Amino acid sequence: MAYAWKLVLLPLRSGRECRRFIPFPFAGIHPVKSICLALTLAFALLAGAVASASTLPLPAGITTVPLAIVTNDRDTSVSRLELMVSAEATVSGIYMETDASANSDPAKAKSEVYPLAGIESADGVVLGQGQGVKAIFLRGDIASQAGQGTLTIRYLTNGVFRHYSECRIDLKRLGPHDWQLVNAYDGQPIKQIKVKTWALGISTLGNVCPTTKA
């Protein structure tokens, strides 16, 4: 994906700075140099998705239905999460368009197309990766005729130990070309997803994961 999932690692100029940056008890587990390299990897794999993002047009005959905006606590980028729907009201995938900020020129937005077949596969689609490590996954099932679906976002919480967490989102059709994301844990509509980070990765997804309303 693009900016919405980006994390930035500030340069660490010495072993002492690296130790201060690493939350206890991580500083004492490995040599400082190894942990610094691991930290660099953890942030690079999330930020690396920015460079690989490209502008992809919507397939012919497909329109988009707005679902939610995605923001994060590391930069001003704003992504628009949209459902791809055919003229027959059949869902064909998910479309993500990202601007550097809310006031950016729309012509410079980055976009990605995620076909439904990939989303519904066993592993889902990879929204972000770098240095050979997959950081953010999206998978689930969307039943156009039934007018409902379930999505799961799996995200890297610890880049050093490669730990992941995941949260579910329900999808509900309100009309032929009107769908809504719903919090799977409290039943509330989701209009914004707030990516919250910590030193080693993503800590949670505000408005999506339990007890993280924002």
Q: Which residue has the higher pLDDT, 42 or 9?
A: 42
**Can you give the pTM of this predicted structure?**
0.74
How confident is the model over 179-196, as pLDDT tens digits?
999 999 999 999 999 989
Distance in angstroms (rounded) separating the CA atoms of residues 37 and 32:
9
Domain limits, the chain = 51-206
**Confidence tier at 47 by pLDDT (50, 70, 90):** very low
